[in-house]
Amino acid sequence: MSTKAKTTSQKSVLLDIDGMKCGGCVLSVEKILLSQPIIEKASVNLVARTAWIQLTNAEQSIDPVLIALADRGFPSKLRSAASHKNTSQSNVNATSQWWRQWRELVIAIFLLLLSVLGHLVEGGKFALPILGTLTFHAGLATFSLLGPGFSILKNGAKAAIASAPSMDTLIGLGVSSAYLASLVALIWPQVGWPCFFNEPVMLLGFVLLGRFLEERARFRTGHAIKELAELQPQTARLVVAPNEIREVRVGSLRPGEKLQLLAGDRIPVDGIVIEGNSAVDISSLTGEPLPLEASPGTELVSGSLNLEANLVLEVKRVGAETALARIIGLVEEAQARKAPIQGLADRVAGRFCYGVVGLSVATFLFWWQLGTRFWPEVLYASGQGLLTGHQHGLHAPLGSNAETPLGLAIQLAIAVLVVACPCALGLATPTVITVASGKAARQGWLFRGGDVIEMAASLKQIVFDKTGTLTLGRPLVVGYAGTNNQEQILKIAASLEENSRHPLAHAILQEAQRKNLNLITATNTRTFPGKGLAGKLEGFDKIVRVGTPEWLKEEGIEHNFDLATTAFNGETIVAVAQGKELLGLILIDDKARTNVEIALEKLRKNGFSLHMLSGDRRHAVQKLGEKLGFDSDQLAWQLLPDQKLRKLKALKKNGPVAMVGDGINDAPALAASDLGIAIGTGTQIAQDSADLVLLGDRIESLPETFLLARKAMAKIKQNLFWAFGYNLIALPIAAGALLPSNGLLLSPPIAALLMALSSITVVLNALALRTT
């Protein structure tokens, strides 16, 4: 089925990709994606097994991309909003995957048990003759490779043929080499090394066990999206007639329909309350602990919980357009977009397999031709290595009692292949990003990607807008000036501002509604960002303007008093004019957000430099700045959007800058800053321009957001240190670096266990972020 119709309305999409096992796979997938002409950017997540791609032309089909991925061994499909809503199918898939993983675990334990029993029988611990025969061990090894190990061999071979060797390639080379070497030794004893059929069996057992534990740990990192998706109910109570309620699927609802919400119901769609009063719990989406008091006119979002009484809701947005679907989409995007710090790990992981194969060949050649000449005693010492075990008859652990240089060289070369772990490199960053973005989403903080988390951790400068950001954004009309007909100028201003979403427009409209004023029809309305509105009103011959006094003065508006010397108490001034005549001023005041002073003080203690840029008048900005502890040089007022941009650029000379804003006027500054932060109650355009969205009115959570970003970056650095350190230490030991001096080497089973533990350690360290 073509996916063209699904991508016509979106610039970026998310793909689910199978077949990725390590960082090398990630680099291969990214190369495939970026080679497609319709893809501008691509970012692949090994943990979530997804790819976020940005399209150059949203009208084109992505079918060629899916075909290209499938041809290289990475079958993929487009992620859609419906994938989260089909809970029953998701449960079936999860159950199937769960049983498959348990089956692999049982097989792994069974293989390990038989191998251990074989060693015990050979060592004379108890009598079970069949387990001590070479024929049995050869048969068990054959079963292991053709049974549970066949998918590893097949995937590794496909990756090698596609010039994109993966973790499976290294494991496949290791187990097949050990098997073939044992088979040769069994058929042709003169080669001089013992059979070690047990080792491929134990190696596969440890690999399967490690992958089970790693998969379970990785599954836990993705709980956040599943928990968010479960907030979406599957059915709703549709009001089809005054006394008739019918239960229907949520997917069949359409805007304009009415729903009945009982106490205890989850809200299935975004809508507006038209009947009833109740308390609504929105903490699962915004982290806000206090319930929202819902009454007629209150807008509710999907996923919220109705607590007290019945409500009737008019449907406004359904499906992918709802706030819940948008939040899930942002979390998915955040988990797919990688942090820049991951670039080095990906570059190393992408070439890692080539390097390991090269080291394995070099190890083989060295110990075959030179090593045993320099240290002839290693042919005996290799049998005494602390990590290898001891020989039992003709069947021995790999790396024991090699009687010839060729035998020792083969054994060490195989150990190098097995101990290498590119998985840890590939998992080091995405596991942390997945956990951090999921934890943030549960608190109502939406990062757009790992790059955003990394930037947030490095910032030292934050710029705030005033109205709607540091203040509640719900200002009230508190007075008038320059007029004797207050209701008339309020009516004119409200009529022109009727379709505006600016907080000051809301205050004017709210006051007009309180006074039951009938508004006048407006036509040809035009918005001047940062200045005001102009348009025509029915019954008025001349153009009406509503905006800042300075803008009206620029337009040549005459007035009968000096605005500069008029004394106010820091209120925001909205001037109303008809033609060239100033009709009067409306005074509007706003309150600072709850706990904003505490939040700003925490940020200052954490070393942030804070600034306030506003389009408001000087007195209003200085009054609020003084209250919130800003220095005079940290304030700027009466700024147009382009002036805000210039101020931001000047600040960026001192380092990266975050911009916290709300509203249309802030969109350019949010987009131009190094980190744009929008308050979740702001306009849609502001949120679209932002890198980080704080849902609700809780600006006091901003310090915790930056703290989480810093903790995440610390975890990433710990993981990268471990991943690089493990390989830098384990590979030389596996190559025999300690064999001459200490008689120490790694046998493949121990190497396989260490490889698995390396990946698991990285994932568990990331999961620790959930509890900090």
pLDDT at 322 over 50: yes
**What pLDDT is stored for residue 471 in this prediction?**
83
pLDDT, averaged across the chain = 80
pLDDT for 94 = 55
Instruction: Give me the mean pLDDT over the 725-752 stretch.
Output: 82
Among the listed ranges 151-160, 285-294, 602-611, which one has the minimum average pLDDT value? 285-294
Higher-pLDDT residue of 40 and 615 is 40
Whether residue 384 has pLDDT greater than 50: no
Percentage of residues in the chain having pLDDT higher than 90:
18
Q: Read off the pLDDT band of 5 (50, 70, 90).
A: very low
Are residues 466 and 659 in contact, defined by beta-carbon separation less than 8 angstroms? no
pLDDT(575) > 50: yes
Share of the chain above pLDDT 70, in %: 82
- Residue 611 main-chain phi, psi, to 5 deg: -140, 155
pLDDT greater than 80 at residue 203: no
Give helix 198-221 / helix 87-122 axis angle, nearest 10°. Answer: 150
Q: What pLDDT was estimated at residue 609? A: 95
Whether pLDDT at 229 is above 90: no
Calculate mean pLDDT across residues 157-161: 82
Among the listed residues 265, 270, 465, 666, the single catalytic one is: 465
Judge contact between 686 and 664, C-beta under 8 A. yes
Q: What is the pLDDT of residue 87?
A: 45
Please determine, for residue 547, whether its predicted confidence score (pLDDT) is greater than 80: yes
pLDDT for the residue 659? 92
DSSP of 519-581, one letter per residue?
A: PPPEEEEEEETTTEEEEEETT-SS-EEEE-HHHHHHTT-B-SS-GGG---SS-EEEEEEETTE
| Rounded Cα distance, 270 and 304, in Å | 10
> Averaged over 187-199, what is the pLDDT?
71
pLDDT of residue 331: 74
Which pLDDT belongs to residue 389? 37
Confidence check: pLDDT of 750 > 60 = yes
* DSSP β-bridge partners for residue 316: none
Answer with the residue of higher pLDDT: 391 or 459.
Answer: 459
Q: Give yes or no for a contact between 537 and 511, defined as CB atoms under 8 angstroms apart.
A: no
Section 408-432 average pLDDT? 81
β-strands 532-537, 522-528 pairing: antiparallel
- 93-127 per-position pLDDT tens digit: 555 666 776 777 787 778 778 777 766 666 555 65
pLDDT confidence tier of residue 272, bands split at 50, 70 and 90: very high
Q: In what order do the strands lie in the sheet containing 12-17?
A: 39-45, 50-55, 12-17, 76-78
pLDDT greater at residue 385 or residue 160? 160
At 446 the pLDDT is 84
Average pLDDT score over residue span 197-213: 73
Whether residue 563 contacts residue 577, with contact meaning beta carbons closer than 8 Å, is answered with: no
- How much is the pLDDT for 89? 47
For the record, the structure tokens of 70 come out as 């499938």
Radius of gyration of the chain (CA): 33
Confidence of residue 684 (pLDDT cuts 50, 70, 90): low
- Predicted local distance difference test score (pLDDT) of residue 562: 58
Q: Is the pLDDT of residue 228 over 80?
A: no
Query: What confidence category does residue 16 fall into, taking pLDDT thresholds of 50, 70 and 90?
Result: confident
Question: What pLDDT is attached to residue 755?
Answer: 76
| For the ranges 104-113, 240-249, 278-287, the one whose mean pLDDT is highest | 240-249
Confidence at residue 528, expressed as pLDDT on a 0 to 100 scale: 86
Q: How far apart are CA 391 and CA 510, in angstroms?
A: 88
The full DSSP string for 686-746 is HHHH-SEEE-TT-GGGHHHHHHHHHHHHHHHHHHHHHHHHHHHHHHHHHTTTTHHHH----
Range of lowest pLDDT (15-19, 133-137, 272-276, 763-767)? 133-137
* pLDDT at residue 1, as a whole number: 39
No. of helices (H) and no. of strands (E), the chain: 30, 26
**pLDDT at residue 689 above 80?**
no
Supply the DSSP symbol for 305.
Answer: E
The pLDDT of residue 536 is: 92
Asked if pLDDT for residue 60 goes beyond 70, the answer is: yes
Give the model's pLDDT for residue 261. Answer: 92
* pLDDT value of position 192: 60
Per-residue confidence (pLDDT) for residue 395, from 0 to 100: 45
Q: For residue 397, give Cα distances in angstroms to 288, 544, 604.
A: 60, 92, 61
Q: Is 126 helix (H, G, I), strand (E, B) or coil?
A: coil
pLDDT tens digits, 466-522: 877 888 767 888 888 888 889 999 999 999 988 787 778 888 998 998 898 999 999
Six-digit token pair at 351? 């070439």
State the residue for tokens 């997938």.
29
With a cut of 60, say whether residue 86 has pLDDT above it. no
Q: Provide mean pLDDT across the span 665-687.
A: 70
Q: Give pLDDT, residue 153.
A: 87
pLDDT band at 160 (very low <50, low <70, confident <90, very high): confident
Residue carrying structure tokens 């038989």: 114
Task: Check whether 6 has a pLDDT greater than 50.
Answer: no
Residue 531: predicted pLDDT:
85
465 catalytically annotated: yes
pLDDT at residue 249, as a whole number: 87
Asked if 663 and 468 touch (Cβ cutoff 8 Å), the reply is yes
Average pLDDT on 78-105 reads: 60
